[in-house]
């Protein structure tokens, strides 16, 4: 059943991806990059789901399905987000989040 | 459906009608028709009330209706009317009716204006018919909120500032009031049993003294702010001066009476023991209001400021008389509320009409108007004379009843303060005559004035309606006074029980 | 006898006021004038009928005149015992006042038909005259003190409106305002007096109040305050109202200015009727003053005496003829007050009371006459100042003759009515106090002097050059003059003491020659001095004025009382009370409210920084929080 690559490797990879995503999400001002960072976070979670499913409960499929869900939602979210971003770009000619503050206060 | 509920239904229907109609003429017609109906209805109510009383019915409240509204907290939609609320309802319908005609020429968003105005009126009517504290509070809030819009949108001068100030101060007051009402609610059944918001039921029990000491001041100040109690009166000058005509009329004429009425019906009626113990503080504050408002009015230059300060003085007299806690003074307080409501509404209506012609409210910039617009000027003089307490007009009846009543107080301290309050009649005369002299008499100061048209028909409707009732009360006060007098009985019984003199 | 019809004495002028006030501008001016005059003629007839019935038919029971309450209607119930009624009370003084008021008022109405002809607001004038007549009649027939107060205020407002009749004239506006506010201030005292009185006696009703054996007088010892009983204080305060309305010192300042009104108004309101309301008030309450508040009665006497002297001195130097007459009015009312103040109660002791009422009636006649003559003169010359007049006797024969009669009357020369009434007052004063008698004796001389100063400067003296020849007034104006002159001349023969006495019991009087002869002599002396100084243009007045420069200046400037008032009102009340109050309100009270708002706003601005609206910052906080929590959890887990 075991195939050589230990679980820890997956987890370490997922953790690195997650924090790279968080870092990108917090520091970047470009909406596209922020969106990409969110994707990174989601995918790191996906890896975790799959890895745990595979290693801990190999006879169940919940992890698999959940990650499929996440991928589906992420696709939809990316579509909506990019639509918003395009609209923002059309309206303000920028996709820098700090410049989009018309509704503030 | 009972007659009292109709007083809420008709304004709501009018508002619905206003939503549906389109152009400004229809808006005016619907608003005037609705409020005209309301006026007729209140005449019917007065008639019904008098005939029911005449037939020997001595119930505390007539036309009672009680529907459970929110069961777990025992909140009811409970309405009922005694002579005092009937009188206040009649006053409100008169002022609203006159107000509609006074704002006939509002052309900026007229539909929304009339909707807000009538919404405000709905709140006031609801307040006066409620005998359930919670429902009463609900209607109170309903009356205060549209005021913000009316001043903020249709006002003049620093209208946002004034609207904000007025609303915030009144909201602050209603926060105190809510505390007071909840305090009464949680002490409404000191011997165990169902808690209640119903005023009549609460009045049959005695709220524990410790609770009264805490909640009487809260309730009284809560209502007192609305009744322009010193030092919480400063919303009044700014609010009135920025408000559009009809709103000033309604506000000074009716909304400020909510304060006096509430202080009487809730604070004094439900907690007479604390009222007796603590009244001296408030009596001092109100006599300050009376004198201070009058002196403040002497040096003002803006007509609306003069009236606002004069209202502080007159409404101070209302609270002053209520706190004297005897039949005559309280009777006078109610008459004063009605009288002041009518004459101050008249004042503000006329100021609006003058402003529509001269485009200024500064008395120094006007002069000699008697010659060019005699009708409006004579109305203004009449309003002024009513305000300074000329016999034959309503102000005299009210003031005399208050002064004689207050002077019957067995305590020397109260009698001396009464004398202090009496001096306001001279100061009032000074500022009223000063305005009349500068504004109306003397030579015409501005030659443009010679082209002024005197009152238009709708302005005449507005002014004549109010003046005729000011004169009616002034000439034949007996029926009103006795109608109020019998309704004071329950309050007096509670007071006499604790304070036999 | 049923006196119910007396209701119409009040109702007719009131209805006339409503009619003329509301519909007057639609009627022709002449018609509204006739309507007003006609209405007044009706009530004059009614008043005379009432007087006849009361004095000679039904008023007296066993020779004593009683108070008859013709009708009484509860107007406002205040407490169980106190209620304000509107009604008609008939007793000798109220019936006498009815006659006096309606007579003078009718004369003034007729006179005004001519005098006011062609004025703008002719119908308004008659409407207000009707209002005044209504108020004044309501005042005199009042059944209770509060009804009196109500009508007291109403005459005040009628006076205000009529003084300011020429409302486009700033001086008239100022004068009317001054009159109303000064009397209002005095009325404050009246009101407080009523409050105290009613608190102690539990009644407003005159019949109960003034019954010498009644509870009001016998049972109200009450607490003392500053050495005087509460009742005394209340009566002094009530008298304050009378002082204001009757223009006694120190509230006299409004009366001279009130001459800005049309002359018929001055004749009716500010000479004959309204200004004697204070005298009437004291007479009405006389039993209380006499039995329960003798100290207050002393106050009445001394204020009366001082005012009469004070006004007489000022009248000697004024040049506006209406102002001279105004000060003369004040002086004569001082006489009436004094007479009440020195009077006793019952029978011959009540001589002063009778004399006061007597003088009130004769004064109403001759002073109205003087004013109406002054009106005719002003009408002819178009000036108020005697310096613009002279030698008018040739142009205005009727006016001249009637004016002369009036002057002789006021100077107390027999057989004019003024001689009889003034003589009674002097006798009453003589029996009370030498000092007061002396003052009044001097005033009698001064009166003769200043009246004849007026007379000689107007009708004799050097003829001034007139722009156009002065001409006699029309018949509507001269007929009232003649009627009033006849009244002034012959009213003295009315046997007053058999009709009007303090307790209703008639008594007989006769002239005390020991007092009468000197008083006539000093009157004649005054006339002689005036003749010497003013019958021809002589330098004497100017030389005297130069010699007694300061006395002249003080008198001419009315002893600077007006300036003192102006200082108090404008300098103190306006500047040091009202303006600080307004400032305090704006900056302290409202400032507190505004600073609460400002503080709240400041704090919220500060807090707002946390709410930047940037998701990333929120996320950073969220993530750091989560990390912190995890670290904390792990740490705790390991413990």
Question: Tens digits of per-residue pLDDT, B427-451?
Answer: 899 889 988 888 888 888 877 777 7
Q: What percent of chain B has pLDDT over 70?
A: 99
* pLDDT exceeds cutoff 80 at A105: no
Q: Which residues of B16-33 are buried (b: 16+ CB within 10 A; e: fewer)?
A: ebbeeeeebeebbebbbe
* Domain boundaries defined on chain A: 7-92
C385 part of contact set with chain B, CB < 8 Å: no
- Lowest-confidence segment of B450-454, C235-239, C405-409 by average pLDDT: B450-454
C76 part of contact set with chain B, CB < 8 Å: yes
Over residues B344-366, the mean pLDDT reads 86
How far apart are alpha carbons B102 and B247 in whole angstroms? Answer: 10
Cα angle, residue B390 at apex, residues B386 and B394 outer, rounded to 5°:
50
Chains that touch C (3 or more CB pairs under 8 A): A, B
Chain B residues touching C76 at Cβ < 8 A: 397, 400-401, 477-478, 481
* C77 contacts B481? CB cut-off 8 A: yes
Nearest residue in B to C146, CA atom: B400
Q: How confident is the model at residue A17 (pLDDT cuts 50, 70, 90)?
A: very high
Over residues B281-307, the mean pLDDT reads 88
Mean pLDDT for chain B?
86
* C582 contacts B231? CB cut-off 8 A: no
The reported pLDDT for the residue numbered A98 is: 79
Chains that touch B (3 or more CB pairs under 8 A): C
Query: Taking a C-beta distance cutoff of 8 angstroms, is the pair C501, C350 a contact?
Result: yes
Going by C-alpha positions, the residue among C381, C409, C399, C384 that lies closest to residue C323 is: C384
Tell me which residue in A22, A25, A98 faces C614 most closely, judged by beta carbons. A98
* A22 contacts C623? CB cut-off 8 A: yes
Chain C residues touching B434 at Cβ < 8 A: 177
B464 part of contact set with chain C, CB < 8 Å: no
DSSP state of B386: H
* B415 contacts C199? CB cut-off 8 A: yes
The reported pLDDT for the residue numbered C222 is: 59
Tell me which residue in C608, C613, C623 faces A26 most closely, judged by beta carbons. C623
Whether complex ipTM tops 0.85: yes
Over residues C65-89, the mean pLDDT reads 85
Q: How far is B449 from chain C (nearest CA, A)?
A: 14
**In chain C, which among 196-235 make CB contacts under 8 A with chain B?**
196, 198-199
B322-345 pLDDT, tens digit per residue, is 888 888 888 899 999 999 999 999
Chains A, C in contact, 3 or more Cβ pairs below 8 Å: yes
Query: Taking a C-beta distance cutoff of 8 angstroms, is the pair B232, B225 a contact?
Result: yes
* A97 contacts C614? CB cut-off 8 A: yes
Tell me the two tokens of residue B264: 């009487």
Going by C-alpha positions, the residue among C480, C510, C223 that lies closest to residue C373 is: C480
**In chain B, which among 353-372 make CB contacts under 8 A with chain C?**
368, 370-371
Going by C-alpha positions, the residue among B242, B256, B319, B235 that lies closest to residue B91 is: B256
**In chain C, which among 571-610 make CB contacts under 8 A with chain B?**
573-574, 577-579, 581-582, 585, 589-590, 592-594, 597
Query: Taking a C-beta distance cutoff of 8 angstroms, is the pair C208, C215 a contact?
Result: yes
* pLDDT exceeds cutoff 80 at B404: yes
The reported pLDDT for the residue numbered C333 is: 92
Query: Taking a C-beta distance cutoff of 8 angstroms, is the pair C317, C555 a contact?
Result: yes
B482 part of contact set with chain C, CB < 8 Å: yes
Chain C residues touching A22 at Cβ < 8 A: 623
How far apart are alpha carbons C428 and C437 in whole angstroms? Answer: 9
Residue C77: φ, ψ to 5°: -90, 120
B207: three-class secondary structure by DSSP: coil
Going by C-alpha positions, the residue among C125, C123, C251, C240 that lies closest to residue C180 is: C251
Tell me which residue in A97, A101, A105 faces C616 most closely, judged by beta carbons. A97
Q: How far is A28 from chain C (nearest CA, A)?
A: 9
How far apart are alpha carbons C120 and C101 in whole angstroms? Answer: 26
What is the tally of structural domains in chain B?
Answer: 1
B456 part of contact set with chain C, CB < 8 Å: no
How far apart are alpha carbons C389 and C391 in whole angstroms? Answer: 7
Tell me which residue in C157, C199, C585 faces B296 most closely, judged by beta carbons. C585
C608 part of contact set with chain A, CB < 8 Å: yes
The terminus-to-terminus CA distance of chain B in angstroms comes to 43
B437 part of contact set with chain C, CB < 8 Å: yes
B190 part of contact set with chain C, CB < 8 Å: no
B7-35 pLDDT, tens digit per residue, is 888 889 988 888 888 888 888 888 889 88
Tell me which residue in C78, C154, C168 faces B328 most closely, judged by beta carbons. C78
The reported pLDDT for the residue numbered B372 is: 85
C209-268 pLDDT, tens digit per residue, is 888 877 777 766 556 666 678 888 888 999 999 999 988 888 888 888 888 888 889 888
Q: How far is B396 from chain C (nearest CA, A)?
A: 9
What size, in residues, is chain C?
Answer: 639
For every residue of B52-104, DSSP letters joined together read HHHTT---SSEEEEEEEEETTTTEEEEEEE-HHHHHHHHHHHHHHHHHHHHTT
Chains A, B in contact, 3 or more Cβ pairs below 8 Å: no
Chains C, B in contact, 3 or more Cβ pairs below 8 Å: yes
B392 part of contact set with chain C, CB < 8 Å: yes
* C608 contacts A97? CB cut-off 8 A: no
Q: How confident is the model at residue C149 (pLDDT cuts 50, 70, 90)?
A: very high
Residue B362: φ, ψ to 5°: -80, 125
Chain B residues touching C590 at Cβ < 8 A: 234, 238
C383: three-class secondary structure by DSSP: coil
C-alpha pair distances (Å), B418 with each of B281, B321, B402, B404: 14, 9, 9, 9
C288-313 pLDDT, tens digit per residue, is 888 888 888 889 999 999 999 999 98
For every residue of B281-306, DSSP letters joined together read HHHHHHHHHHHHHHHHHHT--BHHHH
For every residue of chain A, DSSP letters joined together read ---SS-HHHHHHHHHHHHHHHHHHHHH--BHHHHHHHHHHHHHHHHHHHHHHHHHH-TT--HHHHHHHHHHHHHHHHHHHHHHHHHHHHHHHS--BGGG--TT--
Range of the domain at B374: 3-498
C634 part of contact set with chain A, CB < 8 Å: no
Over residues B242-247, the mean pLDDT reads 85
B434 part of contact set with chain C, CB < 8 Å: yes
Q: How confident is the model at residue C638 (pLDDT cuts 50, 70, 90)?
A: confident
Tell me the two tokens of residue B112: 């929304």
Tell me which residue in C78, C153, C594 faces B401 most closely, judged by beta carbons. C78
CB atoms within 10 A of CB C562: 15
C44-61 pLDDT, tens digit per residue, is 999 999 888 888 887 677
Residue B261: φ, ψ to 5°: -60, -45
Q: What percent of chain A has pLDDT over 90?
A: 50
Task: Return left, alpha or beta for B434; rule: phi > 0 is left, psi -120 to 50 is alpha, else beta.
Answer: alpha
Nearest residue in C to A24, CA atom: C616
Chains that touch A (3 or more CB pairs under 8 A): C
Q: How far is C584 from chain B (nearest CA, A)?
A: 9
The reported pLDDT for the residue numbered C220 is: 60
Nearest residue in C to B408, CA atom: C199
Mean pLDDT for chain C?
85
Class of A7-92 in CATH: mainly alpha
The reported pLDDT for the residue numbered B499 is: 63
B327 part of contact set with chain C, CB < 8 Å: yes
Nearest residue in A to C617, CA atom: A26
Q: How far is C39 from chain B (nearest CA, A)?
A: 21
Strands B62-70 and B75-81, how do they pair?
antiparallel
* C79 contacts B405? CB cut-off 8 A: yes
* pLDDT exceeds cutoff 80 at C84: yes
């Amino acid at each position: 059943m075991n195939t050589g690559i230990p679980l820890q490797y997956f987890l370490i990879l997922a953790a690195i991806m997650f924090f790279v995503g968080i870092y990108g999400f917090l520091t970047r001002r470009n909406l596209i990059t922020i969106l990409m960072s969110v994707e990174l976070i989601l995918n790191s979670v996906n890896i975790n789901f799959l890895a745990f499913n595979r290693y801990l409960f190999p006879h169940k499929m919940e992890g698999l399905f959940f990650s499929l869900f996440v991928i589906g939602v992420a696709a939809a979210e990316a579509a909506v987000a990019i639509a918003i971003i395009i609209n923002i770009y059309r309206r303000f000619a920028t996709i820098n989040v700090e410049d989009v503050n018309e509704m503030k206060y | 459906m009972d007659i009292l509920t109709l007083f809420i239904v008709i304004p709501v229907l009018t508002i619905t009608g206003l939503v549906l109609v389109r152009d400004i003429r229809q808006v005016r017609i619907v608003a005037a028709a609705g409020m005209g109906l309301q006026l007729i209805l209140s005449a019917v109510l007065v008639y019904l009330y008098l005939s029911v009383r005449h037939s020997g019915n001595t119930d505390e409240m007539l036309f009672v209706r009680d529907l459970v509204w929110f069961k777990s907290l025992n909140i009811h939609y409970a309405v009922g009317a005694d002579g005092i609320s009937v009188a206040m309802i009649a006053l409100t319908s008169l002022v609203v009716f006159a107000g509609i005609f006074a704002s006939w020429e509002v052309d900026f968003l007229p539909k929304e204006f009339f909707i807000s105005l009538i919404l405000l009126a709905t709140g006031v009517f609801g307040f006066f018919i409620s005998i359930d504290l919670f429902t009463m509070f609900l209607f109170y809030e309903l009356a205060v909120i549209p005021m913000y819009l009316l001043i903020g949108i249709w006002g003049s001068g620093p209208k946002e500032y004034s609207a904000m100030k007025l609303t915030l101060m009144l909201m602050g007051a209603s926060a105190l009031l809510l505390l007071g009402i909840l305090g009464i609610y949680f002490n409404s059944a000191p011997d165990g049993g169902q808690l209640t918001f119903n005023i009549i039921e609460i009045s049959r029990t005695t709220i524990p003294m410790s609770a009264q000491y805490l909640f009487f001041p809260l309730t009284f100040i809560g209502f007192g702010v609305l009744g322009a109690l010193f030092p919480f009166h400063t919303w009044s000058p700014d609010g009135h001066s920025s408000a559009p005509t009809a709103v000033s009329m309604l506000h000074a004429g009716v909304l400020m009476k909510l304060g006096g009425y509430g202080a009487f019906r809730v604070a004094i009626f439900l907690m007479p023991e604390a009222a007796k113990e603590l009244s001296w503080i408030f009596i001092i504050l109100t006599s300050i209001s009376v004198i201070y408002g009058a002196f403040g009015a002497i040096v003002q230059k803006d007509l609306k400021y003069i009236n606002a300060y004069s209202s502080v003085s007159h409404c101070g007299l209302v609270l002053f008389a209520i706190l004297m806690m005897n039949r005559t003074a309280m009777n006078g307080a109610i008459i004063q509320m009605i009288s002041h409501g009518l004459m101050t509404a008249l004042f503000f209506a006329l100021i609006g009409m003058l402003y529509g012609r001269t485009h200024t409210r500064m008395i120094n910039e006007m002069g000699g108007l008697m010659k060019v617009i005699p009708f409006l000027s004579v109305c203004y003089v009449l309003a002024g004379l009513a305000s300074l307490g000329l016999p034959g007009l309503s102000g005299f009846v009210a003031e005399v009843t208050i002064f004689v009543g207050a002077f019957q107080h067995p305590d020397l301290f109260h009698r001396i303060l009464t004398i202090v309050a009496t001096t306001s009649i001279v100061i009032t005369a000074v500022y009223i005559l000063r305005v009349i002299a500068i504004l109306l008499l003397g030579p015409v100061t501005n030659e443009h004035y010679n082209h002024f048209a005197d009152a238009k028909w709708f302005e005449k409707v507005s002014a004549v309606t109010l003046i005729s009732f000011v004169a009616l009360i002034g000439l034949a006060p007996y029926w009103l006074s006795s109608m109020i007098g019998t309704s004071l009985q329950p309050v007096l019984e509670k007071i006499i029980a604790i304070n036999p003199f | 006898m049923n006196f119910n019809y007396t209701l119409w004495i009040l109702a007719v002028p009131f209805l006339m006021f409503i009619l003329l006030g509301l519909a007057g501008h639609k009627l022709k001016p002449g018609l509204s004038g006739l309507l007003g005059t006609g209405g007044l003629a009706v009530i004059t007839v009614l008043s005379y009928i009432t007087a006849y019935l009361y004095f000679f038919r039904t008023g007296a029971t066993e020779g004593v005149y009683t108070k008859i309450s013709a009708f009484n209607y509860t107007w406002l119930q205040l407490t169980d015992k106190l209620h304000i009624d509107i009604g008609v009370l008939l007793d000798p003084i109220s019936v006498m006042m009815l006659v006096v008021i309606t007579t003078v008022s009718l004369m003034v109405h007729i006179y005004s038909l001519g005098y006011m002809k062609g004025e703008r607001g002719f119908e308004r004038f008659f409407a207000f005259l009707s209002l005044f007549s209504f108020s004044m009649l309501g005042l005199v027939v009042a059944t209770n003190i509060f009804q009196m107060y109500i009508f007291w205020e109403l005459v005040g407002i009628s006076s205000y409106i009529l003084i300011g009749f020429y409302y486009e004239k700033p001086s008239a506006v100022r004068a009317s305002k001054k009159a109303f506010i000064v009397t209002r201030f005095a009325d404050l005292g009246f009101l407080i007096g009523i409050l105290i009185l009613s608190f102690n006696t539990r009644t407003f009703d005159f019949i109960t109040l003034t019954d010498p054996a009644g509870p009001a007088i016998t049972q109200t010892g009450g607490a003392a305050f500053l050495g005087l009983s509460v009742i005394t204080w209340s009566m002094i305060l009530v008298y304050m109202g009378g002082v204001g309305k009757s223009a006694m010192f120190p509230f006299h300042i409004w009366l001279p200015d009130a001459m800005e009104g049309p002359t018929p108004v001055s004749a009716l309101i500010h000479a004959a009727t309204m200004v004697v309301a204070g005298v009437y008030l004291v007479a009405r309450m006389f039993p209380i003053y006499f039995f329960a508040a003798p100290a207050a009665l002393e106050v009445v006497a001394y204020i009366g005496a001082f005012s009469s002297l004070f006004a007489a001195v000022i009248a000697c130097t004024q040049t506006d003829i209406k102002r001279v007459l105004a000060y003369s009015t004040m002086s004569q009312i001082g006489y009436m007050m004094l007479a009440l103040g020195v009077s006793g109660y019952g029978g011959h002791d009540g001589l002063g009371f009778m004399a006061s009422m007597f003088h009130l009636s004769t004064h109403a006649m001759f002073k109205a006459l003087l004013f109406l003559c002054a009106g005719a003169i002003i009408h002819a010359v178009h000036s108020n100042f005697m310096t613009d007049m002279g030698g008018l006797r040739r142009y205005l024969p009727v006016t001249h003759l009637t004016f002369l009669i009036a002057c002789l009357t006021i100077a107390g020369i027999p057989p004019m009515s003024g001689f009889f009434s003034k003589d009674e007052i002097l006798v009453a004063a003589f029996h009370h106090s030498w000092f007061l008698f002396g003052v009044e004796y001097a005033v009698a001389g001064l009166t003769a002097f200043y009246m004849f100063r007026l007379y000689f400067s107007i009708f004799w003296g050097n003829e001034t050059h007139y722009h156009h020849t002065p001409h006699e007034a029309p018949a509507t104006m001269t007929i009232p003059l003649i009627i009033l002159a006849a009244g002034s001349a012959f009213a003295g023969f009315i046997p007053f003491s058999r009709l009007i006495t303090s307790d209703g019991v008639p008594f007989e009087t006769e002239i005390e020659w020991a007092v009468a002869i000197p008083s006539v002599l000093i009157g004649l002396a005054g006339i002689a001095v005036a003749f010497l100084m003013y019958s021809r243009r002589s330098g004497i007045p100017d030389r005297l004025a130069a010699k007694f420069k300061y006395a002249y200046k003080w008198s001419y400037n009315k002893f600077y009382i007006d300036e003192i008032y102006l200082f108090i009102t404008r300098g103190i009340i306006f500047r040091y009370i009202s303006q600080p109050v307004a400032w305090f309100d704006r900056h302290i009270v409202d400032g507190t409210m505004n600073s609460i708002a400002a503080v709240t706003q400041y704090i919220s601005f500060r807090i707002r920084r946390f709410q930047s609206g940037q998701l990333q910052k929120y996320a950073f906080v969220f993530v750091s929080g989560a990390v912190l929590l995890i670290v904390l959890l792990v740490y705790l887990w390991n413990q």
